[in-house]
């Protein structure tokens, strides 16, 4: 039994799977358990399509939180579907990192057999030749228990020359090789002899047989080929297939914020690969404590160590110095959901700007460069945007993820939506 996802691939479904395409918020709040049981019983007698019920996406349980990707669009539960609106700024139209013009995201998901729960996620700042037309970038290390590749050159030169790759801990070098192959194969790069692939990782070894190292360079190429703008698939996809966070199944999440016109109208978008621990807090409500599932709660399975990779994109004309300042603020979003960077957590932020005003064209002649950059005094609203978008991206990585069973029969449950809603209502985070 296998499940492979190439970005936004059209999947065939059977009527049993189709039951979960009902609007999830209405499903959770208004359809009684009796009706649900009746509908499911009816669906089991309908003829199956090309795929059987056993091949449901991500091996998810048949429950309201189950997500199916249909015709290239993911019907995923997100924070705002549940009435959760973190922060004060307005999201972009997609509420995703791809709200930043030009940014593309691609996934290659390996959800196969009993033990493989992993994948690759790539982020491209623009659709051109990134090696020749580089973007300013910066990295920030919140806690350095990780194996990130390519960070020191970004710190030194302040620029990004390849797609950003995310994967599992033991596949990071393979992904770096795949990105390098991609860059060397592009027209105009025939004489290139040095490439700095930028790759981050988290350890998905609890649900995934990480020692098998099933990721191959062609999986990276497929993720890059699948990359596009538009809605971002979240949850159990790509590099988030086998991850978990804050006591529940987690994965990929994304969000964005748009500044008011009188503050520049710039967009900040964030994508996260969540795999860290803490005490889950949702818009100020102590959800992890109320559920009794958090660090030091005694619940099993729970591991406070892990990692998170945060990618921040903006169209604001920021140089590498102010991008590093932006990256530092994104780290505050982890604290807002209850993370605290434990000893064994590798917590990294990568930030870049897509603005044409700060691009670094390596083909231009001369020794001097002239760029228009935002003043220090104009960066404050961008800092707030990074915090809010990171917070919501992490929440989306939880809500979009479904219960998963993986290596050695281990199961990681998704967050219990109905119980969580009751808690949020008690703390006046959402309306009854």
Supply the residues annotated as catalytic. Answer: 307, 345, 347
Contacts of 308 (CB under 8 A, 6+ apart): 202, 245, 272, 273, 274, 275, 276, 334, 339, 345, 346, 347, 348, 394
Task: Report residue 148 as tokens.
Answer: 């990130």
CB 359 within 8 A of CB 373: no
- Angstrom CA distances, 152 to 89, 131, 354, stand at 33, 17, 21
**Residue holding tokens 């499911």?**
40
∠ CA 405-409-410, nearest 5°, is 65
Residue 257: which of 142, 393, 126 has the closest Cα? 393
Is residue 22 helix, strand or coil? Answer: coil
CB 399 within 8 A of CB 77: yes
Which ranges in 337-401 belong to alpha helices (H)?
A: 380-399
Q: Which helix (H) or strand (E) holds 42?
A: helix 33-43
- Per-residue DSSP letter, 110: E
Task: Report residue 44 as tokens.
Answer: 């089991």
Give the whole-angstrom CA distance, residue 41 versus residue 367: 72
Task: Report residue 423 as tokens.
Answer: 């808690």
Which is it for strands 2-6 and 306-314: parallel, antiparallel or unpaired?
A: unpaired
Give the whole-angstrom CA distance, residue 18 versus residue 10: 14
Is residue 199 helix, strand or coil? Answer: strand
């Amino acid at each position: 039994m296998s499940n492979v996802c190439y970005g936004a691939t059209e999947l065939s479904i059977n009527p049993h799977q189709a039951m979960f395409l009902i609007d999830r918020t209405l499903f959770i709040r208004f359809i009684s358990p009796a009706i649900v049981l009746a509908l499911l019983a009816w669906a089991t007698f309908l003829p199956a399509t090309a795929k059987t019920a056993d091949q449901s996406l991500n091996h998810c349980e048949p429950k309201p939180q189950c997500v199916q990707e249909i015709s290239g669009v993911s019907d995923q539960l997100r924070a705002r579907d549940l009435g959760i609106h973190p922060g004060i700024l307005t999201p972009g139209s997609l509420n995703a990192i791809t709200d930043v013009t030009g940014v593309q995201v691609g996934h290659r998901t390996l959800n196969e057999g009993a033990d493989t729960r992993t994948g690759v996620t790539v982020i491209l700042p623009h659709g051109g030749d990134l090696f020749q037309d580089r973007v300013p970038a910066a990295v920030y290390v919140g806690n350095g228990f990780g194996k990130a590749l390519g960070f020191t050159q970004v710190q030194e030169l302040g620029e990004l020359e390849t797609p950003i790759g995310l994967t599992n801990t033991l596949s990071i070098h393979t992904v770096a090789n795949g990105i390098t192959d991609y860059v060397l194969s592009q027209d105009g790069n025939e004489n290139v002899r040095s490439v700095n692939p930028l790759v981050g990782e988290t350890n998905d070894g609890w649900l995934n047989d990480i020692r098998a190292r099933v990721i191959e360079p062609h999986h990276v190429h497929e993720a890059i080929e699948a990359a596009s703008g538009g809605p971002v698939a979240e949850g159990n996809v790509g590099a988030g297939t086998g991850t978990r966070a804050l006591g529940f199944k987690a994965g990929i999440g994304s969000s964005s914020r748009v500044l008011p016109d009188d503050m520049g109208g710039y967009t900040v978008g964030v994508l996260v690969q969540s795999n860290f621990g803490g005490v889950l807090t949702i818009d100020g409500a102590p959800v992890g404590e109320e559920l009794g599932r958090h660090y030091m709660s005694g619940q099993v399975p729970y591991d406070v160590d892990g990692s998170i990779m945060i990618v921040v994109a903006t169209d604001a004309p920021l140089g590498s110095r102010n991008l590093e300042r932006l990256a530092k603020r994104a780290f505050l979003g982890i604290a807002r959901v209850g993370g605290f960077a434990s000893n064994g957590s590798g917590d990294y932020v990568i930030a870049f700007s897509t603005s044409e005003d700060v691009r670094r064209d390596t083909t231009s002649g001369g020794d001097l460069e002239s760029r228009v950059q935002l003043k220090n005094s104009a960066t404050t609203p961008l800092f707030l945007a990074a915090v809010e978008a990171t917070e919501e991206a992490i929440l989306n990585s939880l809500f979009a993820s479904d219960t998963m069973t993986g290596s050695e029969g281990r199961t990681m449950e998704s967050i219990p939506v109905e119980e969580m809603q009751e808690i949020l209502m008690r703390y006046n985070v959402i309306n009854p």
